[in-house]
Amino acid sequence: MLKLPIYLDNNATTPLDPRVLEAMMPYLTDVFGNAASRNHPFGWAAEEGVDYAREQISQLINCDPKEIIFTSGATESDNLGIKGVYEMYAQRGNHIITTTTEHKAVLDTCKHIEKLGGKVTYLPVNEQGLISLEELEAAMTPQTILVTIMYGNNETGTVQPIREIAAIAHKHGALFMSDGTQAVGKIPVDVQADGIDLMAFTAHKMYGPKGVGALYVRRKNPRVKVTAQMDGGGHERGMRSGTLNVPGIVGFGKACELARLEMAADAERLSKLRDKLEAELLTLEESYVNGSREHRLPHVTNISFKYVEGEGLMMGVKDLAVSSGSACTSASLEPSYVLKALGLSDDLAHSSLRFGLSRFTTDEQIDYAINHVKEAVTKLREMSPLWEMHKEGIDLNTIEWAEH
């Protein structure tokens, strides 16, 4: 029997893989030591667990274990990377380049930098959600210390041309940071081949536990340093103080190991399922995929259904746990800034649904989701005066609306 609701919001968070929980269990019980306790076996055992996890994580992204700085999650990693570079390289310059479609953890950190007197360029994206390399190149100045551009977008799954971006940043003497939150563990991310100097990522987007993330900080060619944003006992090579979350880190390590071994097979299966879901939903008239269909994560699709209203649509797809372009900053009724940056009108942004599939998503679930969404959209359109006008060939822009 199919269990409802069906979870298709895996860009928000993923369920914990039972194998990850199993790896964590000893560290939640018997092996409770502080990894920084050097004087007794309790501490040694914890440290051993952390060291092993560091290995597992570094293998996934092809770096040295010493280049992994553990944090509480991707938001903290984004903060540490951007603020840490801004402080550390203040002598060299004060300009940062990012994009308008970054996660708030990057955008709000950049706004904070502006308040401190820094300069930030927010590159626009095209209707595919991709930045222009020419515009990036043109934005580089001798003051540019950091280019920070996300790997894969959380709302659309659009994957930026990371290697080309890194090359441009380096050509102009800037560091390149990427928010890899959605991409790591889903597609191959290789910090050497990609030319990434700093990268934020987190466990709970790849079937690991919440509350643990990492900042990759390159140690050679060039040796990158960030100023600590959390002062204290000098953990993590002085870049992030605080007792390590040992069970979380062990789980993060296991999640990375599983991702390394299973990512290719997962991606192949999920992209087929995603394509099926997408193709079926596109058989509905006036439905549109948001973002690039060529350059994107394999498990994500974001679709707008014209002439239905977002909140009503969410209510209609109650058997699915999905996100909508109106609900992502849940408290406000503002449509998604990411979709608006792609050039979508407010109503199309509102009436979008984001589907994020996971390792645990089944064919049966996707078949159910297809029918459920089709029914909801069809029913709402039958109820929609806008749909009726559209069908009668009336241009909605010619109507004088009694605005509220």
| Residues known to be catalytic | 328
Taking the complex as a whole, the smallest distance from the CB of residue 343 to other proteins amounts, in Å, to 15
Q: Is 378 helix (H, G, I), strand (E, B) or coil?
A: helix
75 annotated to bind ligand: yes
- Alpha-carbon gap, residue 6 to 357, rounded angstroms: 10
Beta bridge partners of 71: 213
- Alpha-carbon gap, residue 320 to 298, rounded angstroms: 20
Residue 294 or 400: the one with the smaller Cβ distance to other proteins is: 400
Taking the complex as a whole, the smallest distance from the CB of residue 401 to other proteins amounts, in Å, to 4
Taking the complex as a whole, the smallest distance from the CB of residue 315 to other proteins amounts, in Å, to 4
- Residue carrying the six token digits 């990158």: 224
74 annotated to bind ligand: yes
- Alpha-carbon gap, residue 327 to 332, rounded angstroms: 8
CA angle 168, 174, 178 (to 5 degrees): 75
- State how far Cα 85 lies from the chain centre: 21
154 annotated to bind ligand: yes
14 annotated to bind ligand: no
Residue 184 or 328: the one with the smaller Cβ distance to other proteins is: 328
Residue 300 or 344: the one with the smaller Cβ distance to other proteins is: 344
Taking the complex as a whole, the smallest distance from the CB of residue 403 to other proteins amounts, in Å, to 5
- Alpha-carbon gap, residue 291 to 336, rounded angstroms: 13
Taking the complex as a whole, the smallest distance from the CB of residue 346 to other proteins amounts, in Å, to 5
324 close to 314: Cβ distance less than 8 angstroms = yes
338 close to 101: Cβ distance less than 8 angstroms = yes
Structure tokens at 371: 């029918």
39 annotated to bind ligand: no
98 annotated to bind ligand: no
Residue 262 or 309: the one with the smaller Cβ distance to other proteins is: 309
Q: Is 263 helix (H, G, I), strand (E, B) or coil?
A: helix
> What is the identity of the amino acid at 68?
I
Beta bridge partners of 214: 70, 201
Taking the complex as a whole, the smallest distance from the CB of residue 308 to other proteins amounts, in Å, to 7
The residue ranges that bind other proteins (CB under 8 A) are 307-312, 315-316, 326, 333, 345-347, 350, 382-388, 396, 401-404
182 annotated to bind ligand: yes
Structure tokens at 282: 């596109």
204 DSSP assignment: G
Q: Is 191 helix (H, G, I), strand (E, B) or coil?
A: helix
Residue 18 or 401: the one with the smaller Cβ distance to other proteins is: 401
Neighbours of 143 (CB within 10 A): 13
Residue 2 or 333: the one with the smaller Cβ distance to other proteins is: 333
How are beta strands 68-71 and 320-321 bridged, if at all? unpaired
Binding residues for pyridoxal 5'-phosphate: 74-75, 154, 182, 202-204, 243
* Binding site per annotation, positions: 74-75, 154, 182, 202-204, 243, 328
**Annotated binding-site ranges for [2Fe-2S] cluster:** 328
